[in-house]
Amino acid sequence: MKRCIKPVARNAGITKNIGWHTFRHSFGTLLKANGEDVKTVQELLRHTNSRITLDACTQAVNSHKRAAQSKVVRMMVPNVGQREVETDTLLVSQRE
């Protein structure tokens, strides 16, 4: 943590104190955001019950929040994501 992760985080501009538990929280949150069921997340995080998983280790991430955030981002940066879509479309048409 001291030799590898914290120096990289500092170089990336992350000033918050991070530790191994930060990765557990992030892992749980990402699993839920990807649609994994609570039981799977619970078992992967090795919690004794799903209530601990829901209460302590995942942030609320759902499609409504993502949609709301995306709308605000598009209002502020109208062409965000457009280049990736154009590139993907170009790659698909080149394969065909």
First-residue to last-residue Cα distance in the chain: 47
Assessment of whether the complete model's pTM goes beyond 0.85: no
Contacts of 27 (CB under 8 A, 6+ apart): 44, 45
Compute mean pLDDT per 10 residues along the chain, 96 residues long, and list them.
90 89 84 83 88 71 71 76 52 50
- 20 contacts 1 by C-beta, under 8 angstroms: yes
